A and B are shown apart, each in its own frame.
Chain A
Amino acid sequence: MKKKLLSAVLAAAMVLSLAACGKNTPASVETPASTDTTSTEVSASAEETKTDEPDARGLLNGKFVDTRHITVELYDRNVDGGTEAGNNAWTKWIQEQMLERYNVEVEFVTVARWTEGDDIGNLLAAQNAPDICYTYNYGQIQTYANMGGVLDLAPILEENKDLVPSMFDWLGDAVIYQDLDPSTGTLWAIEGKRNEICRINTFVRKDWLDKLGLKEPTNKAEFEAMLVAFKDNAETLLGADASKMVPYSISYDVGWRAATLIESFMDPDITDKEYYVNGYDDRKFTENGTKEAVRLLNKWYNDGLIWHDFAEHSGSDDTTEDDMIKAGFVGAFTHNYDYPFRNGKDSINATLAAQYGDGAKFVAVNCFEDKKGGYNKYSYSNTGDRKVFFPATNDEPIASLLYLEFMSQAETVQYLQIGDEGVLHTVDAATGAIVLQAPDEAHHDYYQNSGKNIDMTINCNGLRLATPELTTLSLAFSYSDVDPEDVKTAIAVASKDAQIPPTPSVGDIQAETEGTDLSGKRDQTYDKAVVASVADFDAVWDAGMAEYLAAGGQAIIDERTAAWDATYSSDNLN
Chain B
Amino acid sequence: MELALSLGAPAEVYDVVIIGGGPAGLSAALYAARAKLRTLVVDKHPRAGALAMTELIANYPGVDEELSGAELLARFRRQAEKFGAEVVEAQVLATQLTSDPKQVITSEGTYQGRTIIIAAGALGRSGSIPGEKEFIGRGVSYCAACDAAFFQGKDVAVIGDSREMPDELELIVRFARRVYLLPRKRLDEEVRAQVTGHASVELLERAQVKRIVGEGAVTGVEVVDEGEAKVIPVAGVFVYLSGSRPTTDFLDGSVEITAQGCIAADPRTGATNQPGVFAVGDVTCNEVRQAVVAAGQGALAALAADKYLRRAKRMRQQWS
Are A and B a genuine interacting pair, yes or no?
no
Residues of B within 8 A of A (CB): none
